[in-house]
Amino acid sequence: MLIRFAYKEFYSDKELEGLRKTTLESYELLFTDFMRWTEENELEHVSDITPRVLKSYLSYCKNERGNNPTSLNTKVKLFNVFFGFLVSEELLEDNPAKHIKKFKEDIRIQSFSDQEIKQMLSWLRRNRRRENDLHAVRNYSIVVTLLGTGLRVGELVSLRWSDIHLESGYMTVFGKTRRQETIPMTEKVAKELSYLKGFYESKFEKLSPYVFVNQQ
């Protein structure tokens, strides 16, 4: 079977499964590039793709494109899913990605120091006092909320007023891995959000369902 057709089958299967757009896009990105590369190397059938071929593509990504181990590992994972699918559909005997070892990666997590956080907050506070406009007020609330709850950016952005329970001091968020979770709020956060709400109400005729909005 041609790689192109196999990938089409695979992609529509994943679409049917209901995967997130971002996930589907990451398959698209990898396979668009991979199929371009296989064409250049005159490979067109899934049976042409041996572990050797995959390794050669990965070493191209490493050397020509400067991919680091984490990216290479992500690619191996995606290949694994794809070829695993072909095997389960009996379009291929063996999964060539199966036995590629993990690339060694260094993991370093950098976080802000207390000092940096204080600087950030004091700058934002001063800015809010000075400007007192939508952005200044909102931005301060955003940082206070992030610090006080540990929300992900995606969760913060999709936060609605109806998710926020000021009196009981908690919020519900729906974020990564499609899970709804209940997050406790510190008093500081609750106070800040209720201030923000008041600010919106004084500024706009109608309150947007979303907590953090732009001018529009």
Partner DNA sequence: AATCCATGGCCTGACCACTA
Partner DNA sequence: TAGTGGTCAGGCCATGGATT
Tell me which of 41, 56, 74, 208 binds DNA, using CB under 7 A: 74
**Sign of the dihedral through C-alpha 133, 136, 141, 142:** positive
Tokens representing residue 133 in the block = 């406009």
Distance separating alpha carbons of residues 3 and 204, to the nearest angstrom: 55
Is residue 179 a contact point for DNA (CB under 7 A)? yes
Contact 82, 92 (CB under 8 A): no
63 binds DNA (CB under 7 A): no
Binding of DNA by 153 (CB under 7 A): yes
Contact predicate 109/67, CB 8 Å = no
Residue 90 lies near DNA (rule: CB under 7 A): no
**Closest distance to DNA from the beta carbon of 149 (Å):** 12
175 binds DNA (CB under 7 A): yes
Could you say which of 16, 52, 107, 130 contacts DNA (CB under 7 A)?
107
CB of 22 to DNA, least distance (A): 4
**How is residue 104 annotated by DSSP?**
P
Helix 3-17 to helix 21-40 angle, to the nearest 10 degrees? 180
Is 25 exposed, middle or buried (CB count within 10 Å of its CB: 0-12, 13-18, 19+)?
A: exposed
Give yes or no for residue 80 binding DNA (CB under 7 A): yes
Residues 122-151 that bind DNA (CB under 7 A): none
Q: What letter does residue 150 receive in the DSSP assignment?
A: -
Q: How far apart are CA 83 and CA 197, in angstroms?
A: 51
Residue 8 interacts with DNA (CB under 7 A): yes or no: no
If binding is defined by CB under 7 A, does position 105 make contact with DNA?
yes
* By CB under 7 A, residue 59 contacts DNA: no
Residue pointed to by tokens 């979303």: 210
Residues 51 and 96 sit within 8 Å (Cβ to Cβ): yes
Tell me if 68 contacts DNA by CB under 7 A: yes
According to the binding rule CB under 7 A, does residue 77 interact with DNA? yes
Any contact of residue 14 with DNA (CB under 7 A)?
A: yes
If DSSP codes are grouped into helix, strand and coil, which group holds residue 209? coil
CB of 215 to DNA, least distance (A): 9
What residues make contact with DNA under the rule CB under 7 A? 14, 17, 19-20, 22-23, 26, 29, 32-33, 61, 65-68, 70-72, 74, 77, 80-81, 84, 98, 102, 105, 107, 109, 152-155, 175-179, 214
